[in-house]
Structure formats: structure tokens, C-alpha cells
Amino acid sequence: MSAQAPTIKRTPDGKPDLNGVWQVLNTAAWDIQDHGGQLGIPPGQGVVEGNEIPYLPAAAAKKQQNFANRAVADPEAQCFMPGVPRATYMPYPFEIVQSKGTMAIRYEYGHAVRVIYMDGSKHPEGLPSTWMGDSRGRWEGDTLVVDVKNFNDQTWFDRAGNHHSDALHVIERYTLSSPDHIQYEATIEDPKVFSRPWKMAMPIYRRVEKNVKLLEYECVFYLQEEKYKNAPFK
């Protein structure tokens, strides 16, 4: 069905080779919907299909409240793990490590990591909820499909206060559309917060610099250095 460029690299088992360092070039980290510029906020066209997020009424009110309080209420302000899909479009690179039975994504931001099991296993039951979710992957043709569940209700989708509950279910699709581009899609389901599933999509670009390497953005450490530089306080 898909017209893949014939030039993409493949792993020895014939799957598209997603190994590498990747990063988006958009403004979804600030707001996943269409938005104008403000001081410190680059303007941008949204990544949400149709630009509409189908909030239930109470959830729409919470979004407005989050937006008003975003300077302190955004979990990013506390340097917490960003969740999925937000980790994908933070303005920091991430690295995909693609091995046959297991994949991993290492994010530069806050050294967040996801392990993606590719062995056909299901989401385990009965575990505590998590910030980055439980990821189970499979190949559909040349597309890596990652099913992510078992989230807590603490992460946001962006700095504009878009949010979800612990019923969040994310289905990600990674398609190598050229040697240096991934077409990324995330379908968002959360019946406690949204009236229907919705989707965001964006290209992700390979960091093609020679010897590019993920460095460290130790947000928590830097925040502590600032907050506690004059400690003790009592």
C-alpha cells in the first residue's frame, strides 16, 4: 500500500533501519495546535489532525485552567519525565536503538528512556502506572507500530496545558519515509478526557551531522542548582 523510497536502509532481518539520532523541527512542544507567536513562544502550525482536540466539557475547562497556571503547573517546569508522545517533539534529540527483539528510545531531555518490547508480548497487568508508559511494538509492513499504555495522569501534551488521564492509550506509527525522515503519527485515546480518538502527525528529521551524539540535558540537576543554591534555608 505504501510507496516506500527504495533507498532506505534495512536491518539484516529486512525491517526499515530506524537506528540513529532524530529530532523534530516544529513548535509542538509549546502548543500542539495552531498558535501565534508571543515573547519566547515561536509561532507554529499545529500537529493535530483537523486542529481540533475533542475534549469532554470538564476536560476542556481543565485545559483552560492548566493554560492559565502553566508556568508552575506544567510538569516540564518541574523537569518531570515528559510522557508519550510529548517526549517525541520536545526540542531535544532522541536516539533509537533498534535490536531485533527489543528496541529502546533514549531521549536527551532528562535522560528519559523507553524500552519497546517487540516479542509479541502484551501489556502486563497490575503494575503501578508510569510516566513514560509501557511500550509494545510490532511491524505492520514497513511501519513500526508501538502501543503504549499504563500511563499516570500527571503528564501534559505540551506547554499549553493539553492533558489526559490515566486511561490514556497512545498508538504510535513510525514510518521511514526517506533515508533521513520518519513520518510519525500518534493516535490518542482517552475516554475519560476525549469524546473520540484523535491524531497528531509530524515528520521527524535525522540529525545528519557527522559524529552526532546524544548529550545530557539534566533538567532536574540544573533546577536544583538554581533552587537550592543558597541552601540551607532553615
Residues near another protein (CB under 8 A): 12, 19, 78-81, 95, 97-99, 102-104, 106, 110-113, 115, 117, 121, 124, 127-128, 130-132, 154, 211, 213-216, 218, 220-221, 224-229, 231-234
| Nearer of residues 26 and 150 to another protein, judged by Cβ | 150
Minimum distance between the CB of residue 149 and another protein, rounded to whole angstroms?
13
Minimum distance between the CB of residue 151 and another protein, rounded to whole angstroms?
10
Minimum distance between the CB of residue 174 and another protein, rounded to whole angstroms?
16
| Nearer of residues 122 and 192 to another protein, judged by Cβ | 122
Three-class secondary structure of residue 227 per DSSP: helix
Distance of CA 163 to the CA centre of its chain: 13
DSSP strand pairing (134-140 vs 113-117): parallel
CA distances from 84 to 8, 15, 36, 166, 217 (A): 26, 24, 24, 12, 18
DSSP strand pairing (169-178 vs 102-107): unpaired
Cell matching residue 96: 533509537
Minimum distance between the CB of residue 124 and another protein, rounded to whole angstroms?
5
Minimum distance between the CB of residue 130 and another protein, rounded to whole angstroms?
4
Cell matching residue 154: 500527571
| Nearer of residues 57 and 120 to another protein, judged by Cβ | 120
| Nearer of residues 4 and 19 to another protein, judged by Cβ | 19
Q: Letter for the amino acid at 140?
A: E
| Nearer of residues 95 and 185 to another protein, judged by Cβ | 95
Give the Cα separation of 187 and 169 in Å (integer). 8
